[in-house]
A and B are shown apart, each in its own frame.
Chain A
Amino acid sequence: MHALEKILAHHAGLKEVKAGEIVNCKVDIAGINDLYPQTMYSFWEIGGEKVANPENVVIFLDHYAPPSTIKAAQTHAEFRQFAREQGIDKLMDVNAGVCHQVLADKGLVAPGKLIVITDSHTTTHGAFGAFGTGVGATDLACILKTGELWFRVPRVIKITLNGTLQPGVYAKDIILHVIGKVGADFAIYKGVEFAGTLIPQLSISERMALCNMTTEMGAKTSYIQPDEVTISYLKEKGVKEYNIFMTDPDYEYEEELTFDVSEIKPRVAAPFSVDNVYDIKDYLGTPVDQAFLGTCTGGRLEDIAVAAKILKGKKIHKNTRMLVVPASMETQMEAIRLGYMQDLLEAGCTFVTPGCAACLGTHEGLIAEGETCITSSSRNFPGRMGHKQGKIFLASPATVAASALHGVITDPTPYLK
Protein backbone atom coordinates (compact mmCIF):
# COMPACT_ATOMS: atom_id res chain seq x y z
CA MET A 1 0.00 0.00 0.00
CA HIS A 2 0.96 3.63 -0.43
CA ALA A 3 1.35 5.75 2.70
CA LEU A 4 -1.78 7.68 1.60
CA GLU A 5 -3.72 4.41 1.43
CA LYS A 6 -2.43 3.45 4.86
CA ILE A 7 -3.68 6.76 6.26
CA LEU A 8 -7.15 6.08 4.84
CA ALA A 9 -7.08 2.46 6.06
CA HIS A 10 -6.07 3.60 9.54
CA HIS A 11 -8.94 6.09 9.67
CA ALA A 12 -11.41 3.54 8.30
CA GLY A 13 -10.39 0.94 10.89
CA LEU A 14 -9.26 -1.42 8.13
CA LYS A 15 -6.03 -3.38 7.68
CA GLU A 16 -6.00 -2.83 3.98
CA VAL A 17 -7.66 -0.66 1.34
CA LYS A 18 -7.42 -0.82 -2.45
CA ALA A 19 -7.47 1.98 -5.01
CA GLY A 20 -11.00 2.55 -6.27
CA GLU A 21 -12.62 1.17 -3.12
CA ILE A 22 -15.04 3.44 -1.22
CA VAL A 23 -14.25 3.66 2.48
CA ASN A 24 -15.75 5.56 5.39
CA CYS A 25 -13.09 7.39 7.39
CA LYS A 26 -12.98 9.20 10.71
CA VAL A 27 -11.74 12.73 10.08
CA ASP A 28 -9.08 14.32 12.35
CA ILE A 29 -9.59 17.94 11.31
CA ALA A 30 -12.80 19.20 9.69
CA GLY A 31 -12.30 22.80 8.61
CA ILE A 32 -15.02 25.18 7.47
CA ASN A 33 -14.28 28.53 5.91
CA ASP A 34 -16.41 31.62 5.75
CA LEU A 35 -17.41 31.28 2.10
CA TYR A 36 -19.66 28.41 3.07
CA PRO A 37 -22.41 29.11 5.59
CA GLN A 38 -24.08 26.46 3.42
CA THR A 39 -22.16 23.99 5.61
CA MET A 40 -24.30 24.98 8.61
CA TYR A 41 -27.49 25.01 6.52
CA SER A 42 -26.73 21.58 5.06
CA PHE A 43 -25.95 20.29 8.58
CA TRP A 44 -29.43 21.27 9.71
CA GLU A 45 -31.03 19.99 6.50
CA ILE A 46 -29.56 16.51 7.00
CA GLY A 47 -31.03 16.49 10.49
CA GLY A 48 -27.91 17.59 12.36
CA GLU A 49 -28.42 18.90 15.86
CA LYS A 50 -25.19 18.42 17.79
CA VAL A 51 -21.82 18.38 16.02
CA ALA A 52 -20.27 14.92 16.43
CA ASN A 53 -16.72 15.93 17.45
CA PRO A 54 -16.56 19.69 18.04
CA GLU A 55 -12.94 19.33 19.19
CA ASN A 56 -12.02 18.26 15.63
CA VAL A 57 -13.79 21.17 13.96
CA VAL A 58 -12.05 24.42 13.04
CA ILE A 59 -13.88 27.44 11.65
CA PHE A 60 -11.81 29.92 9.63
CA LEU A 61 -13.02 33.44 8.91
CA ASP A 62 -10.36 33.93 6.25
CA HIS A 63 -11.83 34.54 2.78
CA TYR A 64 -13.77 37.62 3.89
CA ALA A 65 -11.38 38.84 6.59
CA PRO A 66 -12.52 41.41 7.57
CA PRO A 67 -15.93 41.40 5.88
CA SER A 68 -16.39 43.81 3.00
CA THR A 69 -20.14 43.34 2.53
CA ILE A 70 -23.03 43.25 4.96
CA LYS A 71 -23.88 39.72 3.79
CA ALA A 72 -20.37 38.53 4.61
CA ALA A 73 -20.57 40.22 8.02
CA GLN A 74 -23.85 38.41 8.59
CA THR A 75 -22.22 35.10 7.69
CA HIS A 76 -19.39 35.76 10.15
CA ALA A 77 -21.95 36.49 12.88
CA GLU A 78 -23.73 33.22 12.09
CA PHE A 79 -20.47 31.26 12.28
CA ARG A 80 -19.55 32.79 15.63
CA GLN A 81 -22.96 31.88 17.00
CA PHE A 82 -22.69 28.35 15.59
CA ALA A 83 -19.27 27.92 17.22
CA ARG A 84 -20.63 29.06 20.61
CA GLU A 85 -23.72 26.85 20.42
CA GLN A 86 -21.81 23.77 19.27
CA GLY A 87 -18.86 24.13 21.63
CA ILE A 88 -16.38 24.65 18.78
CA ASP A 89 -13.40 26.28 20.50
CA LYS A 90 -11.23 26.58 17.41
CA LEU A 91 -12.76 29.63 15.80
CA MET A 92 -10.04 31.40 13.82
CA ASP A 93 -11.41 34.90 13.56
CA VAL A 94 -10.63 37.64 11.03
CA ASN A 95 -7.18 38.28 12.52
CA ALA A 96 -5.90 34.70 12.09
CA GLY A 97 -5.14 34.26 8.39
CA VAL A 98 -5.57 31.60 5.69
CA CYS A 99 -6.78 28.23 6.96
CA HIS A 100 -3.85 26.13 5.72
CA GLN A 101 -1.17 28.38 7.16
CA VAL A 102 -3.06 28.77 10.44
CA LEU A 103 -3.24 24.98 10.88
CA ALA A 104 0.51 24.71 10.24
CA ASP A 105 1.36 27.62 12.56
CA LYS A 106 -0.71 26.22 15.39
CA GLY A 107 0.73 22.72 15.11
CA LEU A 108 -2.63 21.22 14.17
CA VAL A 109 -1.20 19.45 11.12
CA ALA A 110 0.88 16.33 11.62
CA PRO A 111 1.97 13.30 9.62
CA GLY A 112 -0.71 10.65 9.28
CA LYS A 113 -3.66 12.96 9.96
CA LEU A 114 -6.75 13.07 7.77
CA ILE A 115 -7.58 16.73 7.16
CA VAL A 116 -10.70 17.80 5.30
CA ILE A 117 -11.52 21.46 4.70
CA THR A 118 -14.07 23.24 2.53
CA ASP A 119 -11.16 24.61 0.55
CA SER A 120 -9.69 23.15 -2.61
CA HIS A 121 -6.10 23.84 -1.54
CA THR A 122 -6.27 21.40 1.37
CA THR A 123 -3.78 19.32 -0.65
CA THR A 124 -1.21 21.65 1.01
CA HIS A 125 -1.01 19.34 4.03
CA GLY A 126 0.74 16.64 2.04
CA ALA A 127 3.82 18.73 2.84
CA PHE A 128 3.62 17.24 6.36
CA GLY A 129 2.82 13.67 5.32
CA ALA A 130 -0.85 14.18 6.13
CA PHE A 131 -3.80 13.27 3.88
CA GLY A 132 -5.41 16.63 3.09
CA THR A 133 -8.33 17.02 0.74
CA GLY A 134 -10.90 19.68 -0.10
CA VAL A 135 -14.67 19.13 -0.15
CA GLY A 136 -17.83 21.17 -0.60
CA ALA A 137 -20.15 22.44 2.09
CA THR A 138 -22.56 19.51 2.17
CA ASP A 139 -19.79 16.89 2.43
CA LEU A 140 -18.37 18.85 5.35
CA ALA A 141 -21.85 18.94 6.91
CA CYS A 142 -21.85 15.13 6.79
CA ILE A 143 -18.61 15.15 8.82
CA LEU A 144 -20.16 17.56 11.32
CA LYS A 145 -23.06 15.14 11.78
CA THR A 146 -21.16 11.85 11.90
CA GLY A 147 -17.45 12.62 12.33
CA GLU A 148 -16.84 10.61 9.16
CA LEU A 149 -16.90 10.91 5.39
CA TRP A 150 -16.71 8.52 2.44
CA PHE A 151 -13.64 8.55 0.21
CA ARG A 152 -12.74 6.71 -2.92
CA VAL A 153 -9.19 5.45 -2.38
CA PRO A 154 -7.07 7.27 -4.99
CA ARG A 155 -4.35 5.89 -7.18
CA VAL A 156 -1.05 7.72 -6.66
CA ILE A 157 1.27 9.38 -9.17
CA LYS A 158 4.93 9.82 -8.21
CA ILE A 159 6.75 12.95 -9.37
CA THR A 160 10.49 12.75 -8.80
CA LEU A 161 12.32 16.09 -8.71
CA ASN A 162 16.09 15.70 -8.95
CA GLY A 163 18.81 18.34 -8.80
CA THR A 164 19.38 21.72 -7.18
CA LEU A 165 17.54 24.96 -7.88
CA GLN A 166 19.39 27.82 -9.52
CA PRO A 167 19.41 31.18 -7.69
CA GLY A 168 16.12 32.99 -8.34
CA VAL A 169 14.22 29.73 -8.84
CA TYR A 170 11.72 28.50 -6.25
CA ALA A 171 9.26 25.68 -5.62
CA LYS A 172 6.58 27.80 -7.32
CA ASP A 173 8.60 27.85 -10.55
CA ILE A 174 9.07 24.08 -10.35
CA ILE A 175 5.40 23.30 -9.80
CA LEU A 176 4.37 25.69 -12.58
CA HIS A 177 6.87 23.93 -14.86
CA VAL A 178 5.42 20.53 -13.95
CA ILE A 179 1.79 21.66 -14.41
CA GLY A 180 2.74 23.22 -17.74
CA LYS A 181 4.08 19.84 -18.86
CA VAL A 182 1.30 17.59 -17.58
CA GLY A 183 -1.79 19.82 -17.83
CA ALA A 184 -4.53 21.04 -15.49
CA ASP A 185 -6.45 17.75 -15.56
CA PHE A 186 -3.50 15.37 -15.23
CA ALA A 187 -4.17 14.14 -11.71
CA ILE A 188 -7.98 14.29 -11.37
CA TYR A 189 -9.14 11.95 -8.56
CA LYS A 190 -5.51 10.98 -7.87
CA GLY A 191 -2.86 11.52 -5.22
CA VAL A 192 0.44 13.15 -6.18
CA GLU A 193 3.62 12.29 -4.30
CA PHE A 194 6.81 14.32 -4.61
CA ALA A 195 10.17 12.60 -4.16
CA GLY A 196 13.72 12.98 -5.43
CA THR A 197 16.94 14.69 -4.43
CA LEU A 198 15.38 18.17 -4.43
CA ILE A 199 12.95 17.41 -1.58
CA PRO A 200 15.44 17.23 1.34
CA GLN A 201 16.74 20.65 0.21
CA LEU A 202 13.29 22.24 0.47
CA SER A 203 11.94 23.97 3.58
CA ILE A 204 8.43 23.23 4.86
CA SER A 205 7.32 26.52 3.30
CA GLU A 206 8.52 25.44 -0.16
CA ARG A 207 7.03 21.97 0.27
CA MET A 208 3.70 23.59 1.12
CA ALA A 209 3.87 25.59 -2.13
CA LEU A 210 4.47 22.40 -4.13
CA CYS A 211 1.67 20.41 -2.49
CA ASN A 212 -0.73 23.38 -2.54
CA MET A 213 -0.50 23.65 -6.32
CA THR A 214 -1.25 19.96 -6.99
CA THR A 215 -4.88 21.10 -6.78
CA GLU A 216 -4.21 22.93 -10.05
CA MET A 217 -3.45 19.64 -11.78
CA GLY A 218 -6.68 18.21 -10.40
CA ALA A 219 -5.20 16.16 -7.55
CA LYS A 220 -7.32 14.87 -4.71
CA THR A 221 -4.42 14.93 -2.28
CA SER A 222 -0.63 15.09 -2.24
CA TYR A 223 2.20 13.62 -0.24
CA ILE A 224 5.81 14.14 0.76
CA GLN A 225 7.38 11.44 2.92
CA PRO A 226 8.18 13.08 6.30
CA ASP A 227 11.92 13.47 6.96
CA GLU A 228 14.26 15.40 9.24
CA VAL A 229 12.95 18.73 7.95
CA THR A 230 9.41 17.67 8.87
CA ILE A 231 10.41 16.37 12.29
CA SER A 232 12.29 19.53 13.16
CA TYR A 233 9.28 21.65 12.13
CA LEU A 234 7.01 19.51 14.32
CA LYS A 235 9.41 19.92 17.26
CA GLU A 236 9.45 23.68 16.77
CA LYS A 237 5.64 23.71 16.90
CA GLY A 238 5.51 21.41 19.92
CA VAL A 239 3.74 18.62 18.04
CA LYS A 240 4.40 15.35 19.85
CA GLU A 241 1.73 13.03 18.50
CA TYR A 242 2.03 11.94 14.93
CA ASN A 243 2.00 8.81 12.86
CA ILE A 244 4.44 8.45 9.99
CA PHE A 245 3.29 5.93 7.40
CA MET A 246 5.67 4.44 4.83
CA THR A 247 4.85 3.32 1.31
CA ASP A 248 5.51 -0.39 0.76
CA PRO A 249 8.45 -1.06 -1.59
CA ASP A 250 6.22 -3.11 -3.91
CA TYR A 251 3.59 -0.37 -4.31
CA GLU A 252 2.80 0.19 -7.98
CA TYR A 253 2.30 3.83 -8.85
CA GLU A 254 -0.30 4.85 -11.41
CA GLU A 255 2.43 6.75 -13.19
CA GLU A 256 5.99 7.94 -12.47
CA LEU A 257 7.51 11.13 -13.86
CA THR A 258 11.00 12.50 -13.31
CA PHE A 259 12.15 16.10 -13.78
CA ASP A 260 15.67 17.51 -13.61
CA VAL A 261 15.13 20.83 -11.83
CA SER A 262 18.70 22.12 -12.20
CA GLU A 263 18.09 23.63 -15.63
CA ILE A 264 14.71 25.21 -14.88
CA LYS A 265 14.50 29.02 -15.07
CA PRO A 266 11.80 31.20 -13.50
CA ARG A 267 8.39 30.40 -14.94
CA VAL A 268 5.10 32.24 -15.42
CA ALA A 269 1.63 30.87 -16.09
CA ALA A 270 0.01 33.27 -18.54
CA PRO A 271 -3.74 33.95 -18.73
CA PHE A 272 -6.11 32.15 -18.53
CA SER A 273 -5.16 28.73 -17.22
CA VAL A 274 -2.61 27.43 -14.75
CA ASP A 275 -1.11 25.02 -17.31
CA ASN A 276 -0.38 27.84 -19.78
CA VAL A 277 3.24 27.97 -18.60
CA TYR A 278 6.23 29.71 -20.20
CA ASP A 279 9.85 30.52 -19.47
CA ILE A 280 9.83 34.04 -18.03
CA LYS A 281 11.92 35.27 -21.00
CA ASP A 282 8.82 34.96 -23.22
CA TYR A 283 7.00 37.63 -21.20
CA LEU A 284 9.80 39.93 -20.01
CA GLY A 285 8.75 43.57 -20.31
CA THR A 286 4.99 42.98 -20.09
CA PRO A 287 3.58 45.98 -18.15
CA VAL A 288 2.18 45.13 -14.71
CA ASP A 289 -0.53 47.21 -12.98
CA GLN A 290 -0.68 45.16 -9.81
CA ALA A 291 1.76 42.84 -8.07
CA PHE A 292 0.16 40.55 -5.51
CA LEU A 293 2.19 38.70 -2.89
CA GLY A 294 0.20 36.48 -0.60
CA THR A 295 -2.20 33.56 -0.05
CA CYS A 296 -1.84 29.93 0.98
CA THR A 297 0.34 29.45 -2.09
CA GLY A 298 2.82 32.30 -1.78
CA GLY A 299 2.30 34.45 1.33
CA ARG A 300 4.57 32.75 3.86
CA LEU A 301 7.49 34.30 5.76
CA GLU A 302 10.10 33.10 3.25
CA ASP A 303 8.03 34.61 0.43
CA ILE A 304 7.86 37.98 2.18
CA ALA A 305 11.56 37.72 3.03
CA VAL A 306 12.62 37.33 -0.59
CA ALA A 307 10.41 40.26 -1.62
CA ALA A 308 12.00 42.39 1.12
CA LYS A 309 15.47 41.34 -0.04
CA ILE A 310 14.69 42.51 -3.59
CA LEU A 311 12.90 45.74 -2.62
CA LYS A 312 14.83 46.93 0.46
CA GLY A 313 16.07 50.48 -0.02
CA LYS A 314 14.32 50.79 -3.40
CA LYS A 315 10.94 52.05 -4.65
CA ILE A 316 8.44 50.03 -6.65
CA HIS A 317 7.61 51.41 -10.10
CA LYS A 318 5.20 54.36 -10.21
CA ASN A 319 2.82 52.55 -12.57
CA THR A 320 2.55 49.51 -10.32
CA ARG A 321 0.91 48.91 -6.98
CA MET A 322 2.07 46.01 -4.85
CA LEU A 323 -0.14 44.28 -2.30
CA VAL A 324 1.46 42.20 0.42
CA VAL A 325 -0.84 39.82 2.30
CA PRO A 326 0.83 37.71 4.98
CA ALA A 327 -0.70 34.23 5.01
CA SER A 328 -1.32 34.38 8.75
CA MET A 329 -1.06 36.57 11.81
CA GLU A 330 2.03 34.66 12.88
CA THR A 331 3.60 35.32 9.49
CA GLN A 332 2.73 39.00 9.81
CA MET A 333 4.19 39.36 13.29
CA GLU A 334 7.44 37.67 12.24
CA ALA A 335 7.59 39.90 9.14
CA ILE A 336 7.33 42.92 11.43
CA ARG A 337 9.86 41.57 13.92
CA LEU A 338 12.41 40.85 11.19
CA GLY A 339 11.95 44.29 9.60
CA TYR A 340 10.53 43.00 6.29
CA MET A 341 7.33 44.92 6.71
CA GLN A 342 9.20 48.18 7.22
CA ASP A 343 11.34 47.50 4.12
CA LEU A 344 8.31 46.73 1.98
CA LEU A 345 6.27 49.69 3.23
CA GLU A 346 9.19 52.01 2.54
CA ALA A 347 9.41 50.54 -0.96
CA GLY A 348 5.79 51.60 -1.52
CA CYS A 349 3.91 48.34 -0.89
CA THR A 350 0.39 48.14 0.55
CA PHE A 351 -0.21 45.72 3.41
CA VAL A 352 -3.51 43.84 3.60
CA THR A 353 -5.04 41.87 6.48
CA PRO A 354 -3.81 38.25 6.63
CA GLY A 355 -6.26 36.09 4.69
CA CYS A 356 -7.17 35.18 1.13
CA ALA A 357 -7.67 38.83 0.08
CA ALA A 358 -7.96 39.47 -3.67
CA CYS A 359 -6.93 35.96 -4.76
CA LEU A 360 -10.50 34.88 -5.38
CA GLY A 361 -11.94 38.17 -6.54
CA THR A 362 -14.04 38.97 -3.50
CA HIS A 363 -12.31 42.04 -2.06
CA GLU A 364 -9.12 43.91 -1.13
CA GLY A 365 -7.32 44.55 -4.40
CA LEU A 366 -9.42 43.55 -7.41
CA ILE A 367 -8.22 44.37 -10.93
CA ALA A 368 -10.04 46.48 -13.51
CA GLU A 369 -10.88 45.71 -17.14
CA GLY A 370 -7.69 45.36 -19.15
CA GLU A 371 -5.36 45.47 -16.14
CA THR A 372 -2.55 42.99 -15.61
CA CYS A 373 -1.63 41.44 -12.28
CA ILE A 374 1.38 39.29 -11.46
CA THR A 375 0.74 37.15 -8.43
CA SER A 376 2.27 34.53 -6.15
CA SER A 377 -1.22 32.99 -5.72
CA SER A 378 -2.56 29.89 -7.44
CA ARG A 379 -5.10 30.75 -10.14
CA ASN A 380 -5.32 32.87 -13.27
CA PHE A 381 -8.80 31.89 -14.48
CA PRO A 382 -10.92 34.51 -16.31
CA GLY A 383 -12.38 36.88 -13.73
CA ARG A 384 -10.56 35.21 -10.84
CA MET A 385 -9.24 38.45 -9.34
CA GLY A 386 -11.76 40.95 -10.65
CA HIS A 387 -12.80 41.91 -14.17
CA LYS A 388 -13.13 39.11 -16.76
CA GLN A 389 -10.83 41.03 -19.12
CA GLY A 390 -8.18 41.41 -16.42
CA LYS A 391 -5.04 39.35 -17.02
CA ILE A 392 -3.35 37.33 -14.28
CA PHE A 393 0.18 35.93 -14.49
CA LEU A 394 1.21 33.36 -11.87
CA ALA A 395 4.81 33.46 -10.71
CA SER A 396 7.11 33.02 -7.71
CA PRO A 397 7.16 35.63 -4.91
CA ALA A 398 10.61 36.74 -6.14
CA THR A 399 9.33 37.32 -9.66
CA VAL A 400 6.36 39.26 -8.26
CA ALA A 401 8.66 41.58 -6.28
CA ALA A 402 11.14 42.11 -9.14
CA SER A 403 8.24 42.88 -11.50
CA ALA A 404 6.81 45.45 -9.07
CA LEU A 405 10.22 47.11 -8.92
CA HIS A 406 10.40 47.61 -12.68
CA GLY A 407 6.69 47.89 -13.49
CA VAL A 408 7.06 45.09 -16.03
CA ILE A 409 7.50 41.31 -15.80
CA THR A 410 11.10 40.89 -14.66
CA ASP A 411 13.43 37.95 -14.02
CA PRO A 412 14.41 38.14 -10.32
CA THR A 413 17.64 36.18 -10.78
CA PRO A 414 20.06 39.18 -10.85
CA TYR A 415 18.82 40.20 -7.36
CA LEU A 416 19.35 36.79 -5.85
CA LYS A 417 22.83 35.71 -6.92
Chain B
Amino acid sequence: MVSRIITGKMHVFGNNIDTDQIYPGQYLDVTDHKEMAKYCLQGASDKFAEEFQKGDIVVAGTNFGCGSSRENAAIALKVRGVGAVVAKSFGRIFYRNAYNLGLPLIICPRIDEIAGHGEELTIDMDRELAINNRTGKSVEIEPISEYAMKILNAGGIKALLNPKRS
Protein backbone atom coordinates (compact mmCIF):
# COMPACT_ATOMS: atom_id res chain seq x y z
CA MET B 1 0.00 0.00 0.00
CA VAL B 2 1.17 3.48 -0.80
CA SER B 3 1.43 5.90 2.10
CA ARG B 4 -1.63 8.13 2.41
CA ILE B 5 0.54 10.97 3.69
CA ILE B 6 3.55 12.23 1.71
CA THR B 7 5.87 14.90 3.11
CA GLY B 8 8.84 16.50 1.39
CA LYS B 9 10.70 19.66 0.48
CA MET B 10 9.25 21.53 -2.49
CA HIS B 11 11.05 22.19 -5.77
CA VAL B 12 8.86 24.71 -7.56
CA PHE B 13 8.48 25.00 -11.35
CA GLY B 14 6.20 27.01 -13.66
CA ASN B 15 3.60 26.10 -16.29
CA ASN B 16 4.02 23.78 -19.29
CA ILE B 17 7.10 21.90 -18.05
CA ASP B 18 7.23 19.49 -20.99
CA THR B 19 8.86 16.07 -21.08
CA ASP B 20 11.76 17.48 -23.14
CA GLN B 21 12.61 19.64 -20.11
CA ILE B 22 12.08 16.77 -17.69
CA TYR B 23 14.20 14.46 -19.82
CA PRO B 24 16.16 16.12 -22.66
CA GLY B 25 16.16 14.48 -26.09
CA GLN B 26 19.92 14.12 -26.22
CA TYR B 27 19.74 11.32 -23.62
CA LEU B 28 16.93 9.35 -25.24
CA ASP B 29 19.21 6.52 -26.29
CA VAL B 30 19.99 5.77 -22.62
CA THR B 31 18.31 2.56 -21.43
CA ASP B 32 19.77 2.26 -17.90
CA HIS B 33 17.26 3.70 -15.39
CA LYS B 34 19.90 4.87 -12.90
CA GLU B 35 21.64 6.81 -15.62
CA MET B 36 18.28 8.29 -16.75
CA ALA B 37 17.75 9.57 -13.19
CA LYS B 38 20.91 11.71 -13.47
CA TYR B 39 19.30 13.85 -16.19
CA CYS B 40 16.01 14.37 -14.32
CA LEU B 41 14.63 17.89 -14.94
CA GLN B 42 17.94 18.97 -16.45
CA GLY B 43 16.17 20.94 -19.17
CA ALA B 44 14.14 22.94 -16.64
CA SER B 45 16.67 23.74 -13.90
CA ASP B 46 20.42 23.86 -13.43
CA LYS B 47 20.06 23.63 -9.65
CA PHE B 48 17.67 20.70 -9.27
CA ALA B 49 20.36 18.01 -9.54
CA GLU B 50 22.41 19.38 -6.64
CA GLU B 51 19.54 20.61 -4.44
CA PHE B 52 17.33 17.53 -4.70
CA GLN B 53 17.13 15.03 -1.85
CA LYS B 54 15.30 11.72 -2.00
CA GLY B 55 11.64 12.10 -1.11
CA ASP B 56 11.42 15.77 -2.15
CA ILE B 57 8.28 16.90 -3.95
CA VAL B 58 8.17 18.52 -7.39
CA VAL B 59 5.57 21.31 -7.56
CA ALA B 60 4.44 22.88 -10.84
CA GLY B 61 1.70 24.88 -12.55
CA THR B 62 -0.47 23.73 -15.42
CA ASN B 63 0.25 20.98 -17.96
CA PHE B 64 3.27 19.37 -16.25
CA GLY B 65 4.61 16.57 -18.46
CA CYS B 66 3.04 17.80 -21.70
CA GLY B 67 4.63 16.94 -25.02
CA SER B 68 6.49 13.79 -25.95
CA SER B 69 5.30 10.37 -24.77
CA ARG B 70 8.78 9.47 -23.50
CA GLU B 71 8.40 7.25 -20.44
CA ASN B 72 12.00 8.24 -19.64
CA ALA B 73 10.58 11.42 -18.05
CA ALA B 74 8.51 9.48 -15.53
CA ILE B 75 11.28 6.91 -15.01
CA ALA B 76 13.84 9.67 -14.29
CA LEU B 77 11.56 11.28 -11.65
CA LYS B 78 10.69 7.95 -10.06
CA VAL B 79 14.22 6.53 -9.97
CA ARG B 80 15.68 9.86 -8.80
CA GLY B 81 13.44 9.41 -5.74
CA VAL B 82 10.80 12.11 -6.23
CA GLY B 83 8.11 11.52 -3.58
CA ALA B 84 5.29 12.98 -5.62
CA VAL B 85 4.57 15.61 -8.25
CA VAL B 86 1.90 18.18 -7.40
CA ALA B 87 0.63 20.35 -10.25
CA LYS B 88 -2.44 22.24 -11.40
CA SER B 89 -2.78 19.80 -14.29
CA PHE B 90 -0.75 17.13 -16.10
CA GLY B 91 -0.11 16.06 -19.68
CA ARG B 92 -2.17 12.92 -20.18
CA ILE B 93 0.46 10.50 -21.52
CA PHE B 94 2.84 11.50 -18.72
CA TYR B 95 -0.01 10.98 -16.22
CA ARG B 96 -0.51 7.38 -17.34
CA ASN B 97 3.23 6.71 -17.50
CA ALA B 98 3.78 7.98 -13.95
CA TYR B 99 0.97 5.92 -12.42
CA ASN B 100 2.13 2.86 -14.33
CA LEU B 101 5.49 3.30 -12.59
CA GLY B 102 3.92 3.92 -9.17
CA LEU B 103 4.82 7.63 -9.02
CA PRO B 104 2.00 9.62 -7.37
CA LEU B 105 0.81 12.67 -9.30
CA ILE B 106 -1.46 14.99 -7.37
CA ILE B 107 -3.77 17.44 -9.12
CA CYS B 108 -4.04 20.59 -7.05
CA PRO B 109 -5.58 23.57 -8.90
CA ARG B 110 -4.57 26.09 -6.18
CA ILE B 111 -1.07 24.79 -5.38
CA ASP B 112 0.46 28.16 -6.38
CA GLU B 113 -1.16 29.70 -3.28
CA ILE B 114 0.97 27.62 -0.93
CA ALA B 115 4.03 26.75 -3.05
CA GLY B 116 7.38 27.87 -1.62
CA HIS B 117 10.71 26.74 -2.98
CA GLY B 118 12.59 24.74 -0.31
CA GLU B 119 9.62 24.74 2.10
CA GLU B 120 8.05 21.53 3.35
CA LEU B 121 4.80 20.27 1.86
CA THR B 122 2.51 17.57 3.19
CA ILE B 123 0.03 15.80 0.95
CA ASP B 124 -2.77 14.21 2.94
CA MET B 125 -4.78 11.92 0.66
CA ASP B 126 -7.38 11.10 3.34
CA ARG B 127 -8.23 14.73 4.06
CA GLU B 128 -7.62 15.60 0.37
CA LEU B 129 -5.36 18.49 1.30
CA ALA B 130 -1.93 19.85 0.45
CA ILE B 131 -0.42 21.72 3.41
CA ASN B 132 2.54 24.08 3.57
CA ASN B 133 4.12 23.07 6.88
CA ARG B 134 5.83 26.42 7.41
CA THR B 135 2.76 28.62 6.96
CA GLY B 136 0.17 26.01 7.92
CA LYS B 137 -1.94 27.08 4.95
CA SER B 138 -3.70 24.30 3.06
CA VAL B 139 -5.50 23.88 -0.26
CA GLU B 140 -7.64 21.04 -1.62
CA ILE B 141 -6.26 18.31 -3.83
CA GLU B 142 -8.34 16.27 -6.27
CA PRO B 143 -8.97 12.69 -5.16
CA ILE B 144 -7.01 10.02 -7.02
CA SER B 145 -9.32 7.82 -9.12
CA GLU B 146 -10.01 4.33 -7.87
CA TYR B 147 -8.27 2.80 -10.88
CA ALA B 148 -5.12 4.89 -10.47
CA MET B 149 -5.08 4.12 -6.74
CA LYS B 150 -5.23 0.41 -7.47
CA ILE B 151 -2.12 0.71 -9.66
CA LEU B 152 -0.36 2.90 -7.08
CA ASN B 153 -1.13 0.52 -4.23
CA ALA B 154 0.27 -2.41 -6.17
CA GLY B 155 3.50 -0.44 -6.68
CA GLY B 156 2.88 0.14 -10.37
CA ILE B 157 1.22 -1.62 -13.30
CA LYS B 158 4.04 -4.15 -13.68
CA ALA B 159 3.51 -5.49 -10.16
CA LEU B 160 -0.25 -5.43 -10.69
CA LEU B 161 -0.04 -7.49 -13.88
CA ASN B 162 2.78 -9.75 -12.75
CA PRO B 163 2.62 -10.20 -8.95
CA LYS B 164 5.29 -12.92 -9.13
CA ARG B 165 7.80 -10.28 -10.09
CA SER B 166 8.01 -8.48 -6.75
Contact = CB atoms under 8 A, between A and B. Distances in A.
Contacts of A135: 69, 93, 96
A136 B91 contact: no
A72 B29 contact: yes
A136 B69 contact: yes
Nearest to B70: A35
Contacts of B162: 45-47
Given A118-B69, A120-B67, A120-B69, A185 B100 contact: no
Interface string A110-144: 00000000111000000000000011111100100
B18 interface: yes
How big is chain A's contact interface, by range? 35 or more
Interface string B56-92: 0000001100111111101100000000000001111
B166 to A, nearest CB: 10
A171 to B, nearest CB: 21
A309 interface: no
A344 B163 CA distance: 57
A64 B20 contact: no
A145 interface: yes
A412 B31 CA distance: 43
Contact of B90 (A119, A188, A383): A188
A138 B101 contact: yes
B16 A185 contact: yes
Interface residues of B, number: 42
B29 A360 contact: no
A71 B32 CA distance: 11
Interface in B18-45: 18, 20-21, 24-26, 28-31, 43-44
B132 interface: no
A179 to B, nearest CB: 12
A135 B164 CA distance: 25
A184 B63 contact: yes
A382 B162 CA distance: 38
Interface in A381-408: 381-384, 388
Given A47-B161, A135-B69, A136-B69, A218 B29 contact: no
A383 B20 contact: yes
Contacts of A86: none
A155 to B, nearest CB: 13
A158 interface: no
A107 interface: no
A212 to B, nearest CB: 13
Contacts of B21: 381-383
A220 interface: yes
Contacts of B71: 36, 38, 136-138
A347 B82 CA distance: 51
Contact of A136 (B25, B31, B97): B97
A379 B44 CA distance: 16
A189 B93 CA distance: 9
Contacts of B93: 120, 134-136
A275 to B, nearest CB: 8
Interface in B94-111: 94, 96-97, 100-101
B63 A188 contact: yes
Contacts of B92: 188-189, 218, 220
Given A45-B165, A135-B69, A384 B16 contact: no
Nearest to A41: B31
A63 B31 CA distance: 15
A361 B19 CA distance: 13
Nearest to A137: B71
B18 to A, nearest CB: 5
B87 to A, nearest CB: 10
B10 interface: no
Contacts of B62: 185
A382 B100 CA distance: 27
Interface of B: 15-16, 18, 20-21, 24-26, 28-31, 43-44, 62-63, 66-72, 74-75, 89-94, 96-97, 100-101, 147, 157-158, 161-162, 164-165
6 contacts: A45-B158, A47-B161, A184-B16, A188-B91, A362-B26, A383-B20
